[in-house]
Structure 1
């Protein structure tokens, strides 16, 4: 068992004060070990203290500029603050340093997706899905990127895969409804919006879509 295991166990068990105390003592004992700063950064990220998390991850990078997990942590901390350009840089650095995992590709893809750079998001989200085919959120976000780049047939296929994995995924039904509207299949779109609302009655976008279709059908009568 490594020295950091107890602190990580405290954090995973929700004992955040104990974890913070343990990590602080570890940093005091070994101030030049980047691992301790990374673990404290992870704790702060878990506590939504993003600005302080950045400071700890940055200190880890100062001590070891090849610390891929520190760059990954910085990417997450900046992402949560909607600073997508900085987030991208650190996720890309994490990849270059060998952290070629599904989560890294996924988060980098999300940065581009949220920054409305849909074509740039696609290859990263596709790679994330290839590495972790069972992750519903990765599949769904990949479907969104496909839809945003007007690859509607492929997007539909992905949204249906999402529903096979999670039958009550209201957003997948909603987006299938949007795709159906683009394809001018009004009846199918209405069916999908209704299915989204059955699962999540407060789904505002599905409700708006349904209302627009019903108004359109009334006007055409």
Structure 2
């Protein structure tokens, strides 16, 4: 019977690693935890934690605390604290782990905690330790690239992303990160190459569609850029960043009708999103729709009374009154 259960768990792990989180979650919920070996219970708890189901993970933790290896329990506790946003506790626990029995994965994890806690310089130190322990782990080089990028060390980030791709050229986040790094320093042909590589593998990759669309706008290929941003917005219909960029792109084409439609859609998602309010007010002012402009400007003023451009628009409306 245990072989059957182990097979089930292996299938769940495969789904989880493939990003099929909903399927993995549904399968996990059907499991009878008591039917599994201790090591398998730990794996189930790790997956629950990664999916944000910390209460389920804590329940397993409570059940196995007296049975599992001390270090493994500490690692799981650190993961749960990290997922709950309690970085101080997660760091405290991980330093205990590192003092007792550190491995490359521990260094990688603590580097991520420090990064998310706003300390990329410390992150950088620990990810280098992880790489020293495991020189052929693509993800560690990717992490180092992310930290270097945050530091503004773009060339170093590029080298790290390239190394990650040399080790694992099929992982799209590495290709995307390298493309974005090239984009940031104006190497647009290189950036387009890597965005296209991602889209060849996954034509509906929202991030690649968005970044390539923005790059094409920068290169004044506005129509092509709009098409990509439209596709990205269809895939992520409530992503305000994409919608604002699409609205701006329509303005670049002097297509205020479509720009207005997008801004109104943003209002349905978040009626107090200031950048969209300001753009919407400007269009209404341009179209001399004073009442609509006044309503939007008043809403923008409520969000940020100190915003200079909002104050200027408010003064203009008052002159028209």
TM (normalized to structure 2)?
A: 0.56
Higher relative CO (Cα under 8 Å, sequence separation at least 6) belongs to 1
- Is 1:7 aligned to 2:111, yes or no? no
Aligned residue number for residue 247 of structure 2: 143
Who is 1:50 aligned against? 154
Report matched runs for 1:71-150 at 5 Å.
71-81=175-185, 84=188, 86-98=190-202, 100-150=204-254
Aligned to 1:159: 263
Change (3 A) 1:202 1:117: farther
Mapped contact 1:69–1:99 kept (Cα < 8 A): no
Inter-partner Cα distance in structure 1 for 2:194 and 2:265:
31
8 Å contact 1:75–1:87 — kept in the other structure? Answer: yes
Secondary structure of the structure 2 residue equivalent to 1:134: coil
TM-align CA RMSD: 3.3
**Structure 2 unmatched ranges of 5 or more:** 1-42, 44-103
- Looking at structure 1, the residues matched to 192 and 301 of structure 2 have their Cα atoms a distance apart, in angstroms, of 35
When normalised by structure 1's length, the TM-score is 0.76
**Structure 1 gap segments, 5+ residues each:** none
Q: How far did residue 195 of structure 1 move? A: 2.9
Q: How far does residue 125 in structure 1 lie from its aligned partner after superposition? A: 1.4
Equivalent pairs counted in the alignment come to 217
Per mean C-alpha deviation after superposition, the further-off stretch among 196-205 and 124-133 is 196-205
My pick for the range that moved more, 123-132 or 19-28, is 19-28
SS of residue in 1 equivalent to 2:272: coil
Question: Which is higher, the Rg of structure 1 or of structure 2?
Answer: 2
Q: CA deviation at 1:73?
A: 0.9
Distance in 2 separating the partners of 1:113 and 1:87: 14
* Contact 1:197–1:206, Cα closer than 8 Å, also in 2: yes
